[in-house]
Every structure is written in structure tokens, then in C-alpha cells.
């Protein structure tokens, strides 16, 4: 549906050339909800603007539905309004002097559709975002969340091939953001519009996406479904950027009964190697919820003696930080009705099937 190949964006500045996008290649399937996730400045917006035709890439190739919209070799560069896209950007501009209806109808009027058709399309889009009764309201009489929905209705009313969303929820307060997250995903599942969503918020990415593309420093680190990237990341950057992780360096010793054997400063561990890294493995990663907290002196595979040094009660669970004899810091969680005091000695066990080998940097 959407294909990007060798996309590069360079900005000349007084301090030399900024390589905002280094060489991105990517395919997004029809109906997919694909999220670009990465820290601020990693090139998410620039990539999205290239797809939209708002930014001219230095080099590369972008096609929509099999047709080139940008190709640096052949010189094709289709203007934004002919790419058939819906867009919502971070600072969603709602026109304050217009009614809700007029805001949403605007892109259709520009496209020369007849009045009765426009009326029914706008009604349908407003209904979809839960603003069916608000058509006559002035846009300024709406709450932040309602304005956000107007922006969304305006993006979907054109029924474009692809919906591009750049941090559209970031101006909303936490509660509303979470609500809109669910609503937006439900709407997308209903319409099955191919969607490219940009965020730096890992929770948003995990909750909404079919697939997440992890980006850093103008390049793609790796991509996968939310569960793949959370449970079996390949790269240290992903392990640390998505969720919390205990990570330690390791040396690969070999494989045994389908499990890898590694040596770490905490001892020799049995681990899983979902990406068949073998000798290329450089780290073991365990998510805190996959670390078993056992009584002091417990024996077994992947066991480490540790002492509670911090605990944070967060309601549904308690997050602990531990220290080992060699002063390695480890984290684990327990249900909050279990209460371990600071200084308590325990044994931590890393479940082998949840201890994942990561690629060496
Ligand atoms: N017009 C520009 N001129 C120079 N540098 C730019 C310009 N636009 C973006 N950049 C730089 O490109 C990099 C990527 O920016 P951006 O795509 O906005 O990142 P993100 O959306 O992931 O936060 C950043 O280092 C940013 O400073
Ligand atoms: Mg951005």
C-alpha cells in the first residue's frame, strides 16, 4: 500500500548537514495501523512529512498503491493535494471562525463535491467521532478533546488512501489522551484505513498499533508487533525504549536443549535466543515482571542473591529495586499486597524462556 525505499532527508545548516533521515526503507500494508516510535528528534515528523509531500526528500522513493508519489531518480514529485491523504498534525488547526460543520466540510468543498453529498459525508464523519449533535456549534465552544475530534473528522471525511497522524493526542491531558487512544483505534478498526501514526509515547504505541517501527537518529532500529517488540526485542535500544528492562552484558557459551548458555557478571544463565544470535549476542534482557522474587537461599536455574534497596508502591503493584553482591542493580515487581521491606534478602530468578538475548551493539 505504502512503500518507502532508501529515503534520505538532509538539511544544510550553518553547522554542517543534519541527516534527519538517513536511509529508511519500509512497507505498510493496506488497512494496517503502523506507528513510528522514537525519541524526540529521531526523524519521525520528517518521514511523515515526506509521505505527505510537505517535505522534499534529498533522495529516495515513495509509492502509494503502486504509484510513485516521489522518486528522486525519475523526478516524480506528486503535490500533497493529489496524494489523497488525511492528516492530523500535532498542532491541529481548527478554524475558530468556522462552525464544526464548516471545519469538517472544508476539504470537500475544495475538492468540488456537490452540496448534498458534502452534507451527508460530513454528517457521517461527525457521527463517527461522536460529534453528531455538534455540527452547528462554533469550533471555539468545544473542549480540547472535542476539537481533537473535529480535526480527526476533517482528516477522515475525505476518505483518503492513507491517514497520517503526527502526535495527534499530545496536546490532551492524560485522562482524555487515554480515552482518545481507544476511540481512535476503534474508529480505525471500523474504517480499516491504512494509518501511519507518529508518537514518542511507548504506551500509546503499544496500545494502538498493528506494527511499531522503532526509530533512532534518523534510522529504523527494528520493527514488529507490540508483543514482539516488548517480549522479544532484538536491539538494546528497543529493550530500553519500550518498557522497563533488566539488561546485562553477556558472553555466549553455546546452546543446550534449545536454550542458549551465557556467562554474565551475575553468573551463567540459561536464556532464550529468539533471533538466533548465537555468538552475535551481547546482552541478556529480562522484563521486571518476568523476574521471580523467591525466599533467600532458594536454589534453581538463573538464581541470583539480592537485597531490596528501593520500593515504589504504585497501587496495583509494587516496583522494587535490588542490589546484588557485585552491586548490580536489578528491578522486579510484585502484587502490591506483598510487602518486602528495604534490606530484605531474597533470591531473584530470571525465567529462562523470558530471558532474551539481544544483539551486540
Ligand atoms: N528545517 C530543518 N532544518 C534543519 N534541521 C531540521 C529541520 N527540520 C528538522 N530538523 C532536524 O531533523 C531531525 C529530525 O527532526 P524531526 O523529524 O522533527 O524529529 P521527530 O519528529 O522524531 O521529533 C532533528 O534533529 C531536527 O532538529
Ligand atoms: Mg515530531
Q: Exposed e or buried b for every residue in 255-287, given b needs 16+ CB within 10 A? A: eeeebbbbebebeebbbbbebebeeebbbbbbb
72 pLDDT exceeds 90? Answer: yes
Q: pTM for the whole thing?
A: 0.91
| Contact assessment for residue 278 and residue 251, using Cβ atoms and an 8 Å cutoff | no
Edge-to-edge strand order for the sheet containing 85-88? 85-88, 162-166, 194-199, 33-37, 211-216, 219-224
Best residue among 19, 35, 41 to mutate for probing ligand 1, ranked by most atoms within 8 Å of CB: 41
Residue nearest to atom 8 of ligand 1 (CA): 46
Best residue among 46, 213, 214 to mutate for probing ligand 1, ranked by most atoms within 8 Å of CB: 46
The predicted structure's pLDDT at residue 175: 82
Which grid cell is 110? 475544495
How far is the CA of 284 from the CAs of 148, 223, 289, 319, in angstroms? 42, 19, 15, 20
Q: Looking at the CA of 46, which ligand is closest?
A: 1
Atom nearest to 48 CA in ligand 1 = 17
For domain 244-359, give the CATH superfamily. Nucleic acid-binding proteins (2.40.50.140)
- Provide residues with CB under 6 Å of ligand 1: 11, 13, 18, 20, 38, 40-46
The confidence band for 88, taking pLDDT boundaries of 50, 70 and 90, is confident
| Contact assessment for residue 81 and residue 33, using Cβ atoms and an 8 Å cutoff | no
Q: Encode pLDDT of 217-245 as tens digits.
A: 999 999 999 999 999 999 999 999 999 99
171 pLDDT exceeds 80? Answer: no
| Domain covering 2-84+160-236, topology | Rossmann fold (3.40.50)
| Contact assessment for residue 272 and residue 355, using Cβ atoms and an 8 Å cutoff | yes
Angle CA 276–282–284, to nearest 5: 80
Give me the residue spans of the domains in the chain: 2-84+160-236, 96-148, 244-359
Amino acid at each position: 500500500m505504502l512503500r518507502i525505499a532508501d529515503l534520505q532527508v538532509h538539511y544544510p545548516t550553518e553547522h554542517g548537514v543534519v541527516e534527519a533521515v538517513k536511509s529508511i526503507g519500509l512497507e505498510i500494508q493496506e488497512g494496517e495501523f503502523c506507528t513510528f516510535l522514537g525519541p524526540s528528534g529521531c526523524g519521525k515528523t520528517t518521514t511523515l512529512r515526506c509521505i505527505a509531500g510537505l517535505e522534499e526528500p534529498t533522495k529516495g522513493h515513495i509509492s502509494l498503491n503502486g504509484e510513485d508519489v516521489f522518486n528522486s531518480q525519475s523526478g516524480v514529485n506528486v503535490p500533497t493535494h493529489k496524494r489523497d491523504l488525511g492528516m492530523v498534525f500535532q498542532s491541529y488547526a481548527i478554524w475558530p471562525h468556522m462552525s464544526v460543520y464548516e471545519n469538517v466540510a472544508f476539504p470537500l468543498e475544495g475538492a468540488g463535491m456537490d452540496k448534498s453529498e458534502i452534507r451527508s459525508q460530513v454528517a457521517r464523519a461527525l457521527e463517527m467521532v461522536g460529534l453528531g449533535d455538534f455540527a452547528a456549534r462554533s469550533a471555539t465552544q468545544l473542549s480540547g478533546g472535542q476539537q481533537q475530534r473535529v480535526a480527526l473528522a476533517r482528516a477522515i471525511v475525505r476518505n483518503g488512501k492513507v491517514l497520517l497522524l503526527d502526535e495527534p493526542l499530545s496536546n490532551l491531558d492524560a485522562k482524555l489522551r487515554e480515552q482518545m487512544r481507544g476511540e481512535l483505534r476503534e474508529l480505525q478498526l471500523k474504517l480499516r484505513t491504512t494509518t501511519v501514526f507518529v508518537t514518542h509515547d511507548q504506551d500509546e504505541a503499544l496500545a494502538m498499533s498493528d506494527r511499531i517501527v522503532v526509530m533512532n537518529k534518523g534510522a529504523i532500529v527494528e520493527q514488529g508487533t507490540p508483543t514482539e517488540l516488548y517480549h522479544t526485542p532484538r536491539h538494546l535500544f528497543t529493550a530500553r525504549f519500550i518498557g522497563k528492562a533488566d539488561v546485562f552484558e553477556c558472553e555466549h557459551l553455546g546452546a543446550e536443549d534449545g536454550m542458549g548458555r551465557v556467562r554474565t557478571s551475575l553468573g551463567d544463565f540459561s536464556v532464550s535466543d529468539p533471533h538466533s544470535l548465537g555468538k552475535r549476542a551481547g546482552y541478556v534482557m529480562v522484563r521486571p515482571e518476568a523476574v521471580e522474587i523467591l525466599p533467600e537461599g532458594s536454589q534453581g536455574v538463573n538464581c541470583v542473591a539480592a537485597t531490596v534497596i528501593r520500593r515504589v508502591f504504585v497501587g496495583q503493584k509494587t516496583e522494587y529495586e535490588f542490589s546484588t553482591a557485585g552491586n548490580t542493580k536489578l528491578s522486579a515487581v510484585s502484587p502490591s499486597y506483598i510487602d518486602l521491606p528495604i534490606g530484605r534478602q531474597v533470591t531473584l530468578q530470571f525465567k529462562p524462556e523470558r530471558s532474551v538475548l539481544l544483539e551486540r551493539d
